[in-house]
Each structure stands twice: as C-alpha cells, then as structure tokens.
Amino acid sequence: MYQTIKYEVKGNIGYVVINRPEALNALNSTVLEELYEVFTAIDKDEAVRCVILTGEGRSFVAGADIGQMSTLNPVEAKKFAQYGHKVFNYIEKIEKPVIAAINGFALGGGCELAMACDFRIASNKALFGQPEVSLGITPGFGGTQRLSKLVGKGMAAMLILTAQNIKADEALRIGLVEKVVEAETLMEEVETLAGKIAANAPVAVNQCKTLINKGYHLDMFSGSALEAEGFGICFGTEDQKEGMKAFLNKGKYEYKGK
C-alpha cells in the first residue's frame, strides 16, 4: 500500500514506521505524502487510540532528502517547506496521541518530525540536531518554531546557529525528549506507555491532547475557558458515566470511546 512507510494496528495501537533504511529514512516528497495519507487514515479510525512513530533500521529520520532539495529553486523550496508544515501540523493536531520512538538519528527534518509528536522517548543511541545552517539553509519543517517552545529560546538558538548535534542524555537534560532508555528496550518501553494511554477513556484522552496543544498558545484565562469546555464534553459520554460508576463501586470498566 505504501512505498516508504510500514503501517499496522495491534490492539488499539497504530504503528507507523518510516521505511527508507537505505537512505536513513530521509524525508522526500513521497515520504511526506505517505505520512499525511497514513495519519489521515489514523485520524478517522476509531479503533486506534494511540500511535507510535519510529524509523526502520538505525535511524529515526536523518533529515530531509538533500538529494531532492539540492535542485530546488526558491519557489519550489518554499512549497516543499509548506507541505512539510502541513504534514507535521496535521500530526500534531490529530486527536490521537502520537509517541515518537527515536531509535537513532533524528536530525533536521527528523528532529522536527519528533517535535511534532506529543512526546518523545529516545534510545540511548539517538542523536539530535538541526544542522541546516551548515548546508546553507534554515530549518524548514518547524524547527525554528517548535524547538524554542520545547527547550527555550536561547538553547534553541545555540543548537540551530551552531548546527551541533547532541546525544540522547543531553536531549533529555534540555527537555527535547521526555525519557531515554536502552536501545534494546525502546519499543517495549514505548508500547507500555501507549498501552496505558489506549486503556484510558478515548474522548477524555483526545480532549486532553487538544487542550494541551491549544492552551499552550493561549493566556491562562483563555486556556481555562477552553479547558472547561473540554471538561463538559466528557460528561456527555457513556465512558464518563460508566467509568465513575465503576470507581464508586470499586470495580473496573473497559472504555469504549462512547
């Protein structure tokens, strides 16, 4: 079905694997188009409650495809960046939580893709960076915007302007990733987290993701008003009624997403 992506669903978890190991999973137009296609399908699939995004082989994503980019003129380059923004913004805004399982290189577009996910778990062998200025360009898929929001303006400026790469432990220290684990246990650790998310009430989880993302760009009062709306929405669900009933009766309820 896909040329550059592997996708499967196990239980309530969707697995998206970028599958260009011969190119260290570099992002070309086909990868971007297929990412948009698969996440559009995921967004509509009620069976999927959480998504794990990773790369095949020893790389998460080593960057955008320099071979393709090297021939672009200014107009084409702008359109390429705009499409990358469209894809990454879509991944960020879908209601299903997306976890980046960063198994190796997450450079340039790969770091930007990881930052578009809800949170990031890294292998101790992962490497991060925005090396674009060393190639005569700027980050083009959100790096100048998302990195400063995650690690602060000064740290983002230092990383982007020096084009330096950092290891997983430093990425954890500055807040670029949420957890670092042994390479051999990466998928097991991420699957455990995804399973915990998938076991919770889907409407509540989806509302929380939306509230976190939207509220991040709002003042406290506007964000609080938004939160109250989301809180109220949950009380129109069967899951809220049955979940609270089970809690009061010291029982368990398997959430249905209704």
Cα-based distances in Å from 133 to 143, 190, 210? 12, 32, 33
Q: Where are the alpha helices (DSSP H) in the chain?
A: 29-44, 66-69, 74-93, 109-116, 143-151, 153-162, 168-174, 186-199, 202-215, 220-234, 238-248
Under 8 Å between Cβ of 233 and 241: no
Active-site entry in 8, 22, 95, 132 = 132
Active-site entry in 33, 112, 170, 182 = 112
Q: Does the annotation mark 46 as catalytic? A: no
Tokens linked to 203: 């409407």
- Angle formed by the axes of helices 238-248 and 202-215, to 10°? 110
CA pair distance 233, 201, nearest whole angstrom: 13
Q: 98 pairs with which residues across the strands?
A: 51
CA pair distance 64, 54, nearest whole angstrom: 15
CA pair distance 76, 74, nearest whole angstrom: 6
Under 8 Å between Cβ of 118 and 98: yes
Q: Does the annotation mark 76 as catalytic? A: no
Active site residues: 112, 132
